[in-house]
Structure 1
Amino acid sequence: MNLLFGFLATSGTSNEITTKEAITWIEKLIPALITLGKNLVFALIFIVIARRLIRWLKKILDRSFKRSSLDEGVSKFLLSLISVSLNILMVIVAINIIGIATGSLVALLGSAGLTLGLALQGSLQNFAGGVLILIMKPFRIGDYIIAGADEGTVTGIDIFYTKLLTIDNRKIVIPNGGLSNQSIINVTNEENRRLDLSIPIEYSANIKQVKELLFAIIMQYDSVLKEQPIDVFVSEFADSAILIGVRMWTKKEDYWQLKWALLEEIKERFDENHISIPFNQLDVTIRTDLSGSSNLIK
């Protein structure tokens, strides 16, 4: 390559190049081109072999991670990090085989990385957040979490983002930087979950009768953990209703089905026992004066 550049420089400065000089230059250039061709072939062979070795190593590491107690999110993160690092190393070695000096290339990549890092501070924050999440493990893949206004089942923890799947089958992608710096409610971290209900009744209702009825309804369900406390109590005197609090424990996977079934049956049983559930209403009074006009009073 240096010979080619030298020839071009000479042709640009000198108007006369003898045939003998051109032949001499070509004779010097041919071995360099042959060497370059050989190096390119060796580099391509190295890349093919290296890629197969990287895939083979990833499969071995993946099986090892699955056999170990390592969290699925951590294993995916480590596999991604190892794969990226090995591919970068493969490219640098291939460039070195071709004959290009890699010292200046590494220095150039270092300065470019510093510049890029300053420009992508948000992405680096997401990367650091992903590392913290994988190390501290506030949640794992399969957990149901609530983070701010977002909630759903964790389906993936990547280097920069965490993916949630909502109950109505929507996919939410949350940057790890913000996720690692806010409060997270892990709903499924524990085996059991407490179900709280607030049932309004009229002030004229028989509180004792209502409590006995609610307790009887609760005891019908096998998904209610009978060995755990079951509480039925007056929780509040609201503006237009007495609020009856209900607390019980259930398995985390039975939570929503139990809640929906209880609310439906409570309404049906209240109707059967003539227990009214009050609701807000607006009274309108129309007053007519002696002149025959009417005033609307709300």
Structure 2
Amino acid sequence: MELESANVEKWVDLGTEYGLKILGAIVIWIIGSWIIKKMKKGIASVMTKQNYDESLQKFLLNLIGWVLKILLILTILSQLGVETTSFAAILAAAGLAIGMALQGSLANFAGGVLLMIFKPIKIGDLIEAQGELGVVKEIEIFTTKMVSPTNKEIIIPNGTLSNGNITNYSTEGKLRVDLTIGVSYDADIKQTKEVLMKVLTDNPQVLQDPAPSVNVSELADSSVNFAVRPYATVADYWDVYFGTIEKCKLALDAAGIEIPYPHSVEIHKDA
């Protein structure tokens, strides 16, 4: 009789002990899940205000959600009396192995995150990076796609892109067109400058702020060279570039100003 009473008391104690642990685990799960939900909502709100890319928002929120849930599960297991040290060590070892195997991909992912957070470039920008020039077509998690002036698709890994130099021609919204026009040494410099400047001021695609400029840049072997510097929007850059060259030639011809070409002199020595 005493033995049966002792067994009953033992089971009651065990039931009470583990029942309280299970109840505590349930409470921790409910409260923890509620906190995770609120945290994700707050982080999403901050990302939206900071204009984070939508794809980046979804990815980061899912990643944060899984990390917080794993921490919550470890807390619950600890509450139930399960040894979590070895479990955490296994997770760390697995994470290290995966990280080593996917080292390049993780670097590209990190680069993509940096590009989307700090936004040194955006879709539609004309940029030069890694020796390539093109318009940004798409910024993905691992790679960035560009379209070259010859309509070729260029794909650059984000890790390489984020760690290298990027020249963004679209940031300021205005580009300077650098041209060199050479005229004969017999030409009047003042008249030539007036003719070239008129070509720039008469072109509606040439911006007046910053103002265009025409200056003597070099006294070359067979010509006086002028630095012709109009400004244009990114969209009008090539129209201004090619159009200015053509219009300068026509204007100089109309003004009777010669555009010289290289000359060669042959010297014959009599026997």
When normalised by structure 2's length, the TM-score is 0.66
1:127 aligns with 2:106: no
- Structure 1's 154 and 105: CA in aligned 2 closer, same or farther, altered over 3 A? farther
Return the match for 1:145 from 121, 127, 141: 127
Query: Equivalent residue for 2:228?
Result: 246
1:222 aligns with 2:201: no
Q: Is the 8 A contact 2:196 2:251 kept in 1?
A: no
Q: Give the share of equivalent positions with the same residue, in percent.
A: 39
1:77 aligns with 2:56: yes
Deviations along 1:214-265, whole A, 9 cap, x unmatched?
1111121112223532321111223332221122333332222122111111
1:179 aligns with 2:171: no
Deviations along 1:169-224, whole A, 9 cap, x unmatched?
11100111221122211111123333332212222222111111011111211122
Query: Equivalent residue for 1:201?
Result: 183
- Structure 1's 282 and 147: CA in aligned 2 closer, same or farther, altered over 3 A? farther
Q: How large is the RMSD of aligned CA atoms in angstroms?
A: 3.4
- Structure 1's 199 and 108: CA in aligned 2 closer, same or farther, altered over 3 A? same
Distance in 1 of aligned mates of 2:88 and 2:265: 80
1:282 offset after TM fit, Å?
4.8
When normalised by structure 1's length, the TM-score is 0.60
- Structure 1's 127 and 210: CA in aligned 2 closer, same or farther, altered over 3 A? same
1:268 offset after TM fit, Å?
1.9
Distance in 2 of aligned mates of 1:197 and 1:76: 42
1:118 aligns with 2:100: yes
Q: How many residues align?
A: 214
Distance in 2 of aligned mates of 1:85 and 1:227: 48
Distance in 2 of aligned mates of 1:70 and 1:269: 49
Aligned positions of 1:97-108 closer than 5 A: none
Higher RCO, Cα 8 Å, sep 6+: 2
Query: Equivalent residue for 1:292?
Result: none
- Structure 1's 83 and 277: CA in aligned 2 closer, same or farther, altered over 3 A? farther
Query: Equivalent residue for 2:194?
Result: 212
Q: Is the 8 A contact 2:130 2:161 kept in 1?
A: no
Q: Which amino acid counterpart does residue 54 of structure 2 have in structure 1?
A: S
1:256 aligns with 2:235: no
Aligned positions of 1:6-17 closer than 5 A: none
3-state secondary structure, aligned to 1:172: strand
